[in-house]
Amino acid sequence: MNRTILSVLIMGTLLGGCSSTPKDEHDPTKEMSRFEAEQLRTKNETMELLTKASLLAAKAQSVLAKTEQAYYQPLLDADKIRQMRFQNEYTPRGMEKTIPISWAAAPEPLLFRLATASGYKLDFANERPPIPEDVYINGKNNHNIKKLIDIITQQSKGYINDIVITDTFDKKHILVIYEKF
């Protein structure tokens, strides 16, 4: 009888499991030879080093780009800053008129309309590129003529290089300078 009880206890322990047995985790290096495991470890270390090196290279490239931008940016003194602010805030004579307009087409007809409304003469400095860029102006906001010309200049980069407004005592002139193609 002792043998049966002992057998039942041993079988119960074996079938029931033991709470102190370690979990079986899958380790791929157990199935590999020592040489293959060393190769895998070396490869993982190399990949980790390459990842760190690429992050350092990206940071260095970013610092270099910011340094070059700062180097090539023109230095502005207080007088140049005042002059730029004045030019941005200055509205030439006749261009303070507010015009409600919606536009989604080439900028030239709109520039003719704005020049006529403000009493300016419109000229073009060089040959117009063959494919015009469209300008989009929302009619919800009423802008003065100067602001509309600024919007046209901003939206037509790559097509119109600059729009120069000349406002002297004897001359009221808008000059459109196209990009060279």
Torsion-angle region of residue 25: left (phi > 0), alpha (psi -120 to 50) or beta? beta
Could you tell me the pLDDT band of residue 78, with boundaries at 50, 70 and 90?
confident
Handedness of CA 66, 69, 74, 79 (dihedral sign): negative
% of the chain at pLDDT higher than 90: 34
Q: In angstroms, rounded to a whole number, what is the distance separating the alpha carbons of residues 45 and 173?
A: 69
Q: CA 90 to CA 93: how far, in whole Å?
A: 10
CB atoms inside a 10 Å sphere around CB 117 = 15
pLDDT tens for 122-134 read: 999 988 888 888 9
Beta-carbon contacts of residue 178 (< 8 Å; ≥ 6 apart) = 124, 125, 126, 127, 128, 129, 159, 160, 161
Cα 43 to its chain centre, rounded Å, is: 36
**CB atoms inside a 10 Å sphere around CB 144:** 15
- Span 138-156, pLDDT tens digits: 888 888 999 999 999 999 9
Question: Using 50, 70 and 90 to split pLDDT, how confident is the model at 170?
Answer: confident
Residue 99's pLDDT is what?
Answer: 86
**98-108 pLDDT, tens per residue?**
888 899 999 99
pTM score of the predicted model: 0.55
List pLDDT tens digits, range 13-52: 666 555 555 555 666 667 778 888 889 899 999 999 999 9
* Residues ≥6 apart with Cβ < 8 Å to 96: 144, 145, 146
Residue 110 confidence (pLDDT) above 90: yes
CB count within 10 Å of CB 124 equals: 14
Closest CA to 136 of 106, 104, 161: 104
HEC profile for 27-94? CHHHHCCHHHHHHHHHHHHHHHHHHHHHHHHHHHHHHHHHHHHHHHCCCCCHHHHHHHHHHHHCCCCC
- CA torsion sign for 97, 98, 102, 105 is positive
